[in-house]
Chains A and B, each alone.
Chain A
Amino acid sequence: MVSDKIFKRIETPLFNKEICKLKAGDEVLLSGVIYTLRDQAHFRMVELINKGKTLPICLRNQIIYYAGPTPAKKHVIGSCGPTTSSRMDSFTPALLKAGLKGMIGKGTRSSEVVRMIKRYSAVYFIAPGGAGAYLSFKVRKCSIAAFKDLGPEAIYELEVKDFPLIVGVDARGKNIYERMTKFK
């Protein structure tokens, strides 16, 4: 099994003091409550923000996870790895403005999102994609928090313990994928 000696441990809710200590490339173990949020839930949240309505979950100092888990079998949740982050890029600035501090996903972010992460002192983590079975055992509790009608795309509240992550973009705007921007 994977050794966890060199990981930094962090907990939710996430505050600037801890965020400032995180550097792009750091290996992190995350514990606490996080919320799944993917395509359609992003769409609805940003629509609510634009209309000035109350959100079904409070984003202040929270971390969202771009994921849509499989249903629970014996454990509290099924497979639950990350989905591609770049699909959420256009929605991200509005959520950061609403107080969001962290995002977990896989892959690159737009330069606009990286700029916004820096402006709002937030952080973007990458999780190991395609390791959903492994990650499911890092989840202790799971319940639906909002948008139940969206099925796998609903907002789930997850309580995680030692969830393994790597800092992708830190609060200084440093990006581990900088070497890859030349590809785009």
Chain B
Amino acid sequence: MSKRREIETLEIEKIVEKLCLKSNIILRADVLRALKKVCKNETKNPVAKKMLQLLVDNAKIAEKEKIAICQDTGLVTVFIEMGDKVIIRGGNIVDAVNKGVKEAYQKGYFRKSIVIDPIYRVNTGTNTPCIVHLDVVKGNKCKIIVMPKGFGSENKGRISMMNPTSSIETIEQFCVETVKIAGPDACPPYVIGIGLGGTMDFAALLSKRALLRPINLYNSSKHIAKMEKSLEKKINDLKIGIMGLGGISTVLGVNIETASTHIAGLPVAVSISCHALRSASAEI
């Protein structure tokens, strides 16, 4: 049994700040590797190859100059997995997370893209509030994952409440169709996160969580990994390619996460990420 442990909100604030800075400036290693690989393998479409190389160069420049990889530094989603033996001291954990985001977006010269009201649309000037998902897990540690996501790709997400008797073929068809509709608008090569099961809202959350898994790792369940591979092929066969120029670079990876669901349903949520898939994590 792990011992009880106290964590100060100030520590959480500092870590969120650090993770926001890191994720917006340094492209995830698995994503950069995948970009380099697809750039190397793109041999038949010289313009697409040139543009893929430009993305690799862009990642280098952002890291060297310590500036944002993409100007859309996104709406920040923060996932917190808090051990049941953790006691938070010094204030409210959600306030601390928001303070960390605000600091990072000021210090990092990131774009403040959040408006306070979906109708009145006045910019808050701080890139907050962010979205916080808090889970309680066993133990006395606290894992924090930060994912800033731009809205060019976020706008292209879709959800379908399918029948429980739907075939794998039908599920895959919906996922492929979602990418077809996005076309070249959301900055391919994409990474696709898919949530299967749960409720409507939980499937959407799973599709986000799916984007956190390294794109070179398949789901540990064989039947789901099979779907990931099948979808990767089907989506690349759309031949949208970087900037819509065709070629082999429509998707870098497809990640699926699943959850238990109801006898009457099969929620399917698809989150599309652009090639600048950003996230960073730390454990306290």
* Chain A residues within CB distance 8 Å of chain B: 1-3, 27, 40, 67-75, 78-81, 83-86, 106-108, 126, 128-134, 136-137, 150-153, 164, 166, 176-177, 179-180, 183-184
Residues of B within 8 A of A166 (CB): 47, 243, 245
Residues of B within 8 A of A74 (CB): 65
Complex CA–CA separation, A46 to B205 (angstroms): 37
* Contacting pair A137 B61 (CB below 8 A): yes
Q: How far is the CB of B100 from chain A (nearest CB, A)?
A: 18
CB-CB nearest in chain A for B277: A130
In this assembly, does B123 line the interface, its C-beta being within 8 Å of a C-beta of chain A? yes
- Secondary structure class of chain B's binding surface, majority of residues: loop
* Contacting pair A81 B71 (CB below 8 A): yes
Interface size on B, residues (CB 8 A): 47
In this assembly, does B244 line the interface, its C-beta being within 8 Å of a C-beta of chain A? yes
Given contacts A69-B71, A70-B110, A106-B152, 7 further A-B contacts (CB under 8 A): A70-B68, A79-B69, A107-B185, A128-B51, A129-B187, A133-B58, A166-B47
* Contacting pair A68 B185 (CB below 8 A): no
Complex CA–CA separation, A164 to B58 (angstroms): 13
Q: A78-B109, A151-B123, A184-B181 are in contact. Are A84 and B244 (CB under 8 A)?
A: no
Residues of B within 8 A of A183 (CB): 180-181, 183, 238
* Contacting pair B58 A134 (CB below 8 A): yes
Partner of A132, one of B53, B71, B185: B71
**Interchain Cβ contacts within 8 Å, total number:** 148
Residues of B within 8 A of A2 (CB): 50, 53-54, 57
CB-CB nearest in chain A for B187: A129
Residues of A within 8 A of B123 (CB): 150-153
Closest 9 CB pairs of A and B: A107-B185, A133-B62, A129-B187, A79-B71, A134-B58, A132-B71, A131-B58, A79-B68, A73-B109
* Contacting pair A130 B70 (CB below 8 A): yes
In this assembly, does B275 line the interface, its C-beta being within 8 Å of a C-beta of chain A? yes
In this assembly, does B111 line the interface, its C-beta being within 8 Å of a C-beta of chain A? yes
* Contacting pair B111 A68 (CB below 8 A): yes
In this assembly, does B20 line the interface, its C-beta being within 8 Å of a C-beta of chain A? no
Residue among A71, A130, A180 having the largest count of chain B Cβ atoms under 10 Å: A130
* Chain B residues within CB distance 8 Å of chain A: 47, 50-51, 53-55, 57-59, 61-62, 65-73, 109-113, 121, 123, 125, 152, 155, 180-181, 183-187, 238, 240, 242-246, 274-276
Complex CA–CA separation, A107 to B70 (angstroms): 16
Complex CA–CA separation, A106 to B275 (angstroms): 14
Q: A106-B243, A129-B243 are in contact. Are A70 and B67 (CB under 8 A)?
A: yes
- Secondary structure class of chain A's binding surface, majority of residues: loop
Q: How far is the CB of B115 from chain A (nearest CB, A)?
A: 9
Complex CA–CA separation, A71 to B58 (angstroms): 17
Residues of A within 8 A of B183 (CB): 107-108, 177, 180, 183-184
Partner of A152, one of B65, B111, B238: B111
Partner of A180, one of B62, B70, B240: B240
* Contacting pair A108 B184 (CB below 8 A): yes
Q: How far is the CB of B30 from chain A (nearest CB, A)?
A: 16
Residues of B within 8 A of A86 (CB): 185
CB-CB nearest in chain B for A107: B185
Residues of A within 8 A of B57 (CB): 1-2, 131, 134
Complex CA–CA separation, A75 to B57 (angstroms): 17
Q: How far is the CB of A64 from chain B (nearest CB, A)?
A: 16
Q: A73-B109, A133-B65, A166-B243 are in contact. Are A106 and B184 (CB under 8 A)?
A: yes
Complex CA–CA separation, A72 to B152 (angstroms): 22
CB-CB nearest in chain A for B246: A179
CB-CB nearest in chain A for B65: A133
Residues of B within 8 A of A153 (CB): 123
Q: A71-B109, A84-B152 are in contact. Are A133 and B61 (CB under 8 A)?
A: yes
Complex CA–CA separation, A64 to B105 (angstroms): 27
- What would be 20 A-B contacts, judged by CB atoms less than 8 Å apart? A2-B50, A67-B71, A69-B71, A73-B67, A78-B67, A83-B72, A128-B54, A128-B243, A129-B243, A130-B55, A131-B54, A132-B70, A132-B71, A134-B57, A134-B61, A136-B67, A166-B47, A177-B183, A183-B180, A183-B181
Residues of A within 8 A of B184 (CB): 106-108, 177, 180
Q: How far is the CB of A68 from chain B (nearest CB, A)?
A: 6
